[in-house]
Chains A and B, each alone.
Chain A
Amino acid sequence: MDPLVERVLQGEKSALARVISRIENREPQAVALLDELFLHQKAAPRIGVTGPPGAGKSTLVTGLIRILREQGHRVGVVAVDPTSPFSGGAVLGDRVRMNEVALDPGVFIRSMATRGSLGGLASTSREVCEALDAFGSDRILLETVGVGQSELDVAQAADSTVVVVVPESGDSVQALKAGLMEIADIFVVNKADREGADRMVHDLESALSLKNWKDRWKPPVLKTVASRGEGIREVNEALERHAAWQLETGQLSHRRRESVGARILELTREAVTRAVLAKAGRPELEARVDAVLKGVESPYRAAERWAAELLDTANAPSP
């Protein structure tokens, strides 16, 4: 066994931190490490928390950590913030809200930047969850900024997704109609100390009531004042109910199957692209770009032809 893996399994935080860096840097050794760690996972529930910047996600996560710790769980947290598209750098500020639990030996918090990935979820954050799981975190919280499409990533990586909104985000009901409705297992209207919270709850509930929930999980809409710790216990209870429902209905294994499937496809796609570029090299691509720019063929046709050629080569009987 890799000595680093051994140290992770013994609960050494600095070793886990190193492993996570290897994963997020996509260092070549990461695959071997993940391979070993994978066998030591205990399928800890993963809870995604998403929503607009400033909605109170980190504050809510901190409240959840406190309750989960009371219940005796060991908690791993992955807090993802966007990478600046201009510099490639990032300011990861979620720890500011989590200071009160930062010294708890049963809590491990890692901040991640999205780096190259388009969505709000760093493309390697799933693997980081796996490392946390093998390390012994039996509840994993995944905080991400929800902007546009990225929520879907979270939904796919987590067993339960909490969508946090605030009263003033009136127009977010619009957004909800677009995509959040599909991914939320629990809605939280945070900052309920502010004007308009009840209205927001009402709007959400009426939007939800337009759907048919037969045999499906209907997301509850909960009010919290995360900064005062109010309503968090109810959020945790809803999470427990959702977990129980998923287990009962077989949704949990279904969701995990989907998630693993999507991940394998994604990794395969990456690996194939890398292999193709390594083997054929850039010139092969450039030639096709030339053809498209000269108007010889469309990018769709070019891609299709290339894929067909590659598959032909792969399928050809070896001489």
Chain B
Amino acid sequence: MDRRIRVLVGKPGLDGHDRGAKVVAAALRDAGMEVIYTGLHQTPEMIVEAAVQEDVDVVALSVLSGAHLTVFPRVRALLEERGAGHKLLTGGGIIPDEDIEMLKQKGVGRLFGPGTNTSDIVEYIREWARTHAHSEG
């Protein structure tokens, strides 16, 4: 058997650059993961459709536009709707602590602030995969 952790990395919203997302994508690749990079301007529908077709274990979103309170719950809900509720939804952006807490209540995983060391993200996903991944949906 030859399993790899598969991670969708995408950037919802209208803001213009994806440097952060690309850095994370490269770090996950260097950690031996397969990253499906979907690029900019992703709607929650596009993210979830890609997550389903690519059968990823993890959806990691870079949200810088302050839309986190709408984007994360919406993606979470669509994942549930598609029978993909077992996937980890995580990400990063400038997100106030109280919002992180609220999103956590809604089933969103850890969210990383700007300047996070990529190795923390790698470790978090690895640890999650050790305990959850490949459980059937």
Contacts and interface: CB of A to CB of B under 8 A. Distances in A.
Contact of A89 (B32, B49, B54, B84): B32
Contacts, number: 93
A104 B37 CA distance: 19
Most buried by A among B28, B32, B36, B52: B36
A90 B39 contact: no
Contacts of B54: 17, 110-111
A16 B3 CA distance: 17
A96 B38 contact: yes
Q: Is chain B's interface secondary structure helix, strand, loop, or mixed overall?
A: mixed
B46 A99 contact: yes
Nearest to B82: A14
Contacts of A54: none
A87 B31 contact: yes
- B25, B28, B31, B34 — which one has the most chain A CB atoms within 10 A of its CB? B34
Given A17-B55, A21-B55, A96-B38, A89 B46 contact: no
Interface string B124-136: 0000000000001
Contacts of B29: 84, 87, 89-91
A95 B33 CA distance: 17
B30 A110 contact: no
A92 B54 CA distance: 11
A95 B38 contact: yes
Contacts of A121: none
Contact of A14 (B25, B35, B137): B137
Contacts of A99: 38-39, 41-42, 46
Nearest to A19: B55
A90 B35 contact: yes
B45 A92 contact: no
A26 B3 CA distance: 8
Contacts of B36: 92, 95, 111
B94 interface: no
Contacts of A103: 45-46, 49
A102 B46 contact: yes
A28 to B, nearest CB: 8
Contact of B53 (A83, A90, A110, A116): A110
B106 interface: no
B17 interface: no
| Most A C-beta atoms less than 10 A away, residue of B28, B38, B41, B82 | B38
A27 interface: yes
B53 A13 contact: yes
B14 interface: no
A130 B133 CA distance: 26
Interface in A112-160: 113, 115-116
A26 B26 CA distance: 25
Interface of B: 1-4, 6, 25-26, 28-39, 41-42, 45-46, 49-50, 52-55, 82-84, 136-137
28 contacts: A13-B52, A14-B55, A14-B82, A17-B53, A17-B54, A18-B55, A18-B136, A25-B1, A25-B3, A27-B1, A28-B1, A83-B34, A84-B30, A87-B30, A89-B4, A89-B28, A89-B32, A89-B35, A90-B29, A91-B29, A92-B36, A96-B37, A99-B41, A99-B46, A102-B46, A103-B49, A110-B54, A113-B34
